[in-house]
Amino acid sequence: MRKFLAIILLCFTFAFAAESNKTQEEDIISITNQIQTINSQIKILKAQQKDTNNSKADNSNLASLHKKKSDLLEKIPNYIMQIELTQSDINKFNLQKEVLEKKVARLEKQSNKDAYIQSAIELEKMKVDYAYYSALISLEEVFKKGAKANSIRDVIDNGLLNLQTNSYVSIKDLKDSLNDTSGSYDSAFFDLELKKESEEEILTYLKNNADLLSSSMLLSELNLVDAVEYINKATDINSSKFNIGKIVVIVAIFLFFVSLTRILAKLTYWLMSLIASGEGVKEAKNQIVDIVKKPISALLIIYALNICIGVGFYPVPVPLTVANIFSIIYIVAFSWLVLTILNGYGIAIIDKIAQKSKRKEVINLALKVIYVIVLIITLLLILQKLGFDISALIASLGIGGLAVAFAAKDIIANFFASVMMLFDNSFSQGDWIVCGDIEGTVVEIGFRKTTVRSFDNALIFVPNSKLASDPVRNWSRRKVGRRIRMVIGIEYGPTTDEIKKCVNDIKNMLINHPDIAKSEDIAANKRGLKYRQNIVSV
């Protein structure tokens, strides 16, 4: 209960977060200009690195600038939702653009080259800003509608297309029209191209994080925004410190998902009743349900918390850092769910298959392989969310594969030995085997070792490579009896005829006894067909 109350209080905090965002003094124009200034400083530092040897200090400054720019980029989605543009602002901008276009056209026909270049560059800056801010305004609209990631990417692609094509052609034509050998206009063109590159970088950043920015999609699909507005109108409580509609919706969401976990537990129990058919599994059914229920409940609570955060921040998108953290949490939670399903339902699956094929070790090894694959995929996805280049990481593993293989040659040998033993079917779980000084019942065939329980009830862990290379005697595979050597003592008194008669009687008894295996029984044994004496096993 304390944890539940703490989470509810946390959600209350998020309900206040969106209201507090309005008090910030910065806006999207200020953030864009700061990013442009940082990009200019980065270009200057990189140019200085080529002329000086103080690369260590320059690298430190570059890292600081990149960190500052990254922090500013994370704020962009927040400030997009605060763009306030009226029709009069649009009319004013269009009027300024029209006046400047006429001025450029007039100056182009005159001999005042400097005035023409300055006006033409200012016009190109206005066109670049127009394409950039038009894309941001369109993004604001799709954010409010709770659009999906594909819709966000489409809007950004249109903005990038305008920036990368129209402005590129205009700037190139303007440069080609000049015969400037002195480089007097280089600084002006540098500022123009820097503005274009900075705004392209911002749009590209938003495009790459479209999946994280689409977190408000749930609010739109579930009509939670309408519910918040309806509650606010019904209560008629206006406060700049909290939003009563958001608080009510957050509490309702948590109560719903907490109750859903109990319903899901009963559903899981019912599914296990359908899957579990063996008596041993039915006895452990309650334990399996408890194992699987925990990650499912955790996943539902995480999902509910994610929705509540979206409600709290609406209409502003959830900060990218928070959204990225939740993405990592989702990856871990889903991996936990898959692994517990393998551990829980895997028992039932092994039981059903083992009843048919009696090869539990094959399914057991397959589950372990899947287990390792899930862990590797989880690790790679988490590293990708943290900003690591997965392609470069995988490529580096290829380069260092030889060294890793040499260092882990024993582990690799044991793994392939386990695979070969399963294909050869030399023994199975539960078989009584002898390998050198090791004798006992096979408990489990693992990746690296096979567990054998000796007859004095001790566990012996044998490397798979030893079992694959050394002779193994499998007593459980004998199908038609066992050879017994017996020494029969006689007294000195019997005659030769009496001894011969005794031997003949023993032979007749062995031949006629129904419980004694014969050579024809070995040939007729269907189960051991490939081990018949007159057949060579391939």
- List, as one string, the DSSP characters of 76-140: HHHHHTT----HHHHHHHHHHHHHHHHHHHHHHHSS-HHHHHHHHHHHHHHHHHHHHHHHHHHHH
Mean pLDDT estimate for the chain: 74
Could you tell me the pLDDT band of residue 430, with boundaries at 50, 70 and 90? confident
C-alpha span between 536 and 395 (Å, rounded): 46
Selection from 171-180, 263-272, 287-296 with the highest mean pLDDT: 287-296
Looking up tokens 């977190």 gives: 215
pLDDT greater at residue 321 or residue 81: 321
Of 538, 510, 8, residue with least CA distance to 257: 8
> Is the pLDDT confidence value at 409 over 60?
yes
Query: What distances in angstroms separate CA 73 from CA 78, 195, 293, 335, one per listed residue?
Result: 10, 15, 40, 31
Could you tell me the pLDDT band of residue 184, with boundaries at 50, 70 and 90? low
pLDDT greater at residue 313 or residue 23: 313
Could you tell me the pLDDT band of residue 538, with boundaries at 50, 70 and 90? very low
Omega cis (within 30) before 77: no
For 464-491, what is the mean pLDDT? Answer: 79
> Is the pLDDT confidence value at 7 over 60?
no
Could you tell me the pLDDT band of residue 532, with boundaries at 50, 70 and 90? very low
Sign, CA dihedral 69-75-81-87, equals negative
C-alpha span between 39 and 513 (Å, rounded): 98
pLDDT of res. 22: 47
Kindly report which listed range (98-112, 158-172, 188-202) carries the lowest average pLDDT score: 158-172
For 461-475, what is the mean pLDDT? Answer: 84
Sorted by where each begins, the domain ranges of the chain are 15-176+186-224, 225-412, 480-538
Is 303:257 a contact under the CB 8 Å cutoff? yes
Longest dimension (CA), the chain: 146
pLDDT greater at residue 275 or residue 507: 507
Q: Exposure of 92 by Cβ count < 10 A (0-12 exposed, 13-18 middle, 19+ buried)?
A: exposed
For 11-18, what is the mean pLDDT? Answer: 48
Sequence letter at residue 460 = I
The first and second tokens of residue 531, run together, are 């081990």
pLDDT of res. 487: 84
For 106-128, what is the mean pLDDT? Answer: 78
Instruction: Report, in angstroms and rounded to the nearest whole number, the Rg of the chain calculated over CA atoms.
Output: 38
pLDDT greater at residue 7 or residue 131: 131
C-alpha span between 276 and 23 (Å, rounded): 59
The pLDDT tens digits for 252-262 are 877 887 777 77
Note the pTM of the prediction, 2 decimals.
0.62
For 363-369, what is the mean pLDDT? Answer: 73
Sign, CA dihedral 65-66-71-77, equals positive
pLDDT greater at residue 453 or residue 107: 453
The pLDDT tens digits for 44-89 are 888 777 766 656 656 778 888 888 888 888 888 777 777 776 667 7
pLDDT of res. 182: 52
